[in-house]
Structure 1
Amino acid sequence: MCTSLTYQNSRGDHFLARTMDFAFELDGRPLFMPRNWTVAGDAGEFTTKYGFVGAGRKLGHEMVVDGVNEKGLGVAALYFPGNAHYEAHATEGKLGLAPHDFTAWALGNAGSVAELAKLVPHVQLVDVPVALLQLTPPLHFIISDTTGKTAILEATGPELHLIDNPVGVMTNAPEFGWHLQNLSTYGTLTAQERPLNNYLGYTSKTQGPGTGALGLPGDYTSPSRFVRTVFAKHFSQPMADTPSTLNLLQHLLDNVTIPKGVKLKADGTSDYTQYRGYMSLDDQAYYMEPYDNQELQRVVLTPELLAETTPKEFPLDHQVHIANMN
């Protein structure tokens, strides 16, 4: 399971951030993909037009679950159990993609949300498993760009199209429209302290600041994480530069980050936040924060990196760093 959000700071810079919550160890690391690289996808080959960087691995072929490309398009794949629908085979004339190859295809071939919207009707997601998991992962996708436009792609039928995302937040199942409707249940929450009523002549003592958010769900289910993230994003104080915005995004994701052991599956394994990814769309920079080291580790799409002609993996530092003050 995962949580994602977009953010625009007070200077007008755009970001896409996400948690990667999973029980199976994915061992993701920053992966650069060059222009004009042919990916041997599980449902067929495709070639990149743009260079991009994101979290992924080479497992038979290069796979990326989130990232940003040289045009400032950001894409992230999140789990969508019980709702994703895939075709057995692609319709003639359409490009068939395995669901786990969609992120790399989108980042490699679209420069904006508008451009991707024109491309996806010519694509179908097909039921092809990923070898690492021995299953076809049920996925949906959040896409954003430097205009601030944010969209969702959910494969619930044979025809693909983008859905506008007015709140810039996405979690997991149910489908996105359900989450938007569910927000009405919490539409009266506020960051302000609420005055208490006088009941039958008795005036209660206030519980202090925070009473405006009474009823905000605090569990780790997908609907609760969605509402909590929308609330925190809406009321958070915007920052004016990239470092302070990244720090703010870390705090926003703290609301939905899952420690090991607190969300157990039926088989006894624990879903937990294996890493948090941050995409600076205007700077074309990717930041990764593994579970065991909360120091951000950055890869920027510099002209030198974009001139590379082969994929490149970057090792992650998993060592905890503590500053010595004496």
Structure 2
Amino acid sequence: MCMDVRVMAQNGQRVSARSMEFGVDLLTQVWQRKGKGTWTVSMQPSTEMGKADQVDLVAPNSENQTIQSYEFIASWQGHYDFIHTNALCNSEEMGRKTANGYVASDGMNTQGLSIGSLYLPGMTYYLTPAQVKKAQADGTGSAFVIGSAFFPTWVLSSFSSVEALVNYLSENPVYVLLSQLGIEGEDAVAMTLHYVIHDADGQSAVIEFLYDRKMHIHRCYAAREQFDSIGTDISDPYVDNFKVRRFSPCSAYEVLVDHAYIGVMTNSSDYLWHVNYLSQFSNLTNKVQQASQVNHALPIRSCWSPGPLTNVNGSGLIGLPADPTPPSRFVQTYVCQQLANRPKTVNEAMTLAEKLLNRIDIPRGLVVPEALKNNEPLNSDITQWAVLRDHESRSLYFRSYANMTWEKAVFLDIDRDVLLKSFSLTETAFESSPVLTPIGEHRVVAKRVEVA
């Protein structure tokens, strides 16, 4: 389970935030990558679910300067450095650095473009290797082919804005295959993902791969005028309320352009389902509800009143979901984001984003598998780490499950990749916490109190 939300301040500045919930230790690291230069990813998709793909990757600063020629090869010219979190980053295999360290589960580049990979199991359907080969044979042999785990790496190194990315995807065939990543000797994780992209101009997009195996893009524009100038072509009643324009640059994928103001994304179900589901909670308000008046002239009350509890603080939000399921987290985050006081500055927006993340934080043991296999140790979905993104200053803030103190990462002037942090799910939070001391004029007169 994951959560992504964007927050806008009154001065127009925007920040975004994301939490990573998962039941397997992702062994996450934070890297700054030298993105400028030639990238090559060679992939041999596994023919068996649960078994890891064979992947070789050469980055501009990679220690691996040779690559095996597998079934699919993607090569591109990167333009931007980026900071990112990775996943399942086993360091070496057969004497070579593995590609897993270059997976971007979340990240931002030097232009303020960010992307988050969110888990969408059971609903994500990529093109199969056979379908990609057929499409190539039908005349699109130059199509770009990349694994789902490395799609964000391509985006971060290649694009400066949502506009540039969507324009590219609207005109060029890009085929995304399922990536299966794993640690040697263990079962692989199928990276069935959808993606949330934000940029420094305030635009955002959601990219999904659904039952039709096409790419679906839900676009959020910075200003209403941008959408009005484009026009609409509505043909599907399911998406009629979202003013969707459809077009198909090639037969392999489809783009949906959606003028949305939601600013929230999570896991299952798909994006449009979550947006429709919000209508079930249209009664929620931040106003304290007062008890209904009784009309003594009539034998019954003039209107229904549930009772005296209706006038307690927060009663307008009675019925707001609080369970850790993705639909409930989506509703809770959206409602709280909409009803909270609009932040005035980027710092207040960061504080609000932090509060939204705090409401959905999952402690160990709250979400566990129904049954364990082979007496394996109990795994639990937990909030492994969280990210705050300041798109204007190009700053990222990180915190982990055991240490809720934010650590800031800014772009360094580098000519090589730099490891910034490794997350630990077992670190002790308060060992190094500083002791409070008096400040200002009270510092002089304060004395240590001896406890009997």
Using the size of structure 2 for normalisation, the TM-score is: 0.67
Distance in 2 between residues matched to 1:259 and 1:38, nearest whole Å: 41
Is the alpha carbon distance of 1:160 and 1:154 closer, same or farther for their aligned partners in structure 2, counting shifts above 3 Å? same
Distance in 2 between residues matched to 1:29 and 1:64, nearest whole Å: 10
2:167 counterpart of 1:72:
no
Distance in 2 between residues matched to 1:264 and 1:320, nearest whole Å: 23
Corresponding residue of 1:162: 217
> How far has the Cα of 1:105 moved from its partner?
1.0
**Contact 2:386/2:400, CA 8 A, preserved across alignment:** yes
Distance in 1 between residues matched to 2:108 and 2:79, nearest whole Å: 13
Question: What are the ranges of 5 or more consecutive residues in structure 1 without an aligned counterpart?
Answer: none
Distance in 2 between residues matched to 1:82 and 1:211, nearest whole Å: 36
* Equivalent position amino acid for 1:160 in 2: M
Q: Which one of the candidate residues 72, 87, 106 is aligned to 2:127?
A: 87
Distance in 1 between residues matched to 2:9 and 2:111, nearest whole Å: 19
Aligned length: 322
**Contact 2:14/2:349, CA 8 A, preserved across alignment:** no
- Shifted more, 39-48 versus 136-145: the winner is 39-48
**Contact 1:37/1:310, CA 8 A, preserved across alignment:** no
* Equivalent position amino acid for 1:116 in 2: L
> How far has the Cα of 1:136 moved from its partner?
2.4
Is the alpha carbon distance of 1:188 and 1:46 closer, same or farther for their aligned partners in structure 2, counting shifts above 3 Å? farther
Q: Which one of the candidate residues 107, 122, 126 is aligned to 2:177?
A: 126
> How far has the Cα of 1:138 moved from its partner?
0.9
How high is the sequence identity, in percent, across the aligned residues? Answer: 24
Distance in 1 between residues matched to 2:281 and 2:205, nearest whole Å: 23
Corresponding residue of 1:323: 434
Distance in 1 between residues matched to 2:281 and 2:331, nearest whole Å: 8
Question: What are the ranges of 5 or more consecutive residues in structure 2 without an aligned counterpart?
Answer: 44-72, 91-97, 137-141, 220-259, 295-299, 373-377, 438-452
- Shifted more, 56-65 versus 197-206: the winner is 197-206
> How far has the Cα of 1:319 moved from its partner?
4.9
> How far has the Cα of 1:27 moved from its partner?
1.9
List aligned pairs for 1:247-266, cutoff 5 A: 247-266=351-370
Distance in 1 between residues matched to 2:216 and 2:407, nearest whole Å: 34
* Equivalent position amino acid for 1:234 in 2: Q
**Contact 2:23/2:381, CA 8 A, preserved across alignment:** yes
* Runs of 4+ that moved beyond 6 A: none
1:56-100 deviation per Cα after TM superposition (whole angstroms, max 9, x unaligned): 265512111111111111110100011111122234221111111
**Highest relative contact order (Cα 8 Å, sep 6+), 1 or 2?**
1
- Shifted more, 4-13 versus 43-52: the winner is 43-52
Corresponding residue of 1:54: 84
Is the alpha carbon distance of 1:231 and 1:42 closer, same or farther for their aligned partners in structure 2, counting shifts above 3 Å? farther
> How far has the Cα of 1:247 moved from its partner?
2.5
3-state secondary structure, aligned to 2:35: coil
**Contact 1:31/1:64, CA 8 A, preserved across alignment:** no
2:349 counterpart of 1:245:
yes
> How far has the Cα of 1:40 moved from its partner?
4.5
Distance in 1 between residues matched to 2:104 and 2:400, nearest whole Å: 16
**Contact 1:96/1:126, CA 8 A, preserved across alignment:** yes
Distance in 2 between residues matched to 1:166 and 1:238, nearest whole Å: 15
**Contact 2:36/2:80, CA 8 A, preserved across alignment:** yes
3-state secondary structure, aligned to 1:226: helix
Distance in 2 between residues matched to 1:219 and 1:72, nearest whole Å: 33
Using the size of structure 1 for normalisation, the TM-score is: 0.91
Is the alpha carbon distance of 1:287 and 1:245 closer, same or farther for their aligned partners in structure 2, counting shifts above 3 Å? same
3-state secondary structure, aligned to 2:154: helix
Whose radius of gyration is greater, 1 or 2?
A: 2
Q: Which one of the candidate residues 189, 195, 209 is aligned to 1:141?
A: 195
3-state secondary structure, aligned to 1:103: helix
**Contact 1:99/1:136, CA 8 A, preserved across alignment:** no
- Shifted more, 194-203 versus 204-213: the winner is 194-203
2:417 counterpart of 1:311:
yes
Distance in 1 between residues matched to 2:11 and 2:428, nearest whole Å: 33
- Shifted more, 224-233 versus 290-299: the winner is 290-299
**Contact 2:114/2:199, CA 8 A, preserved across alignment:** yes
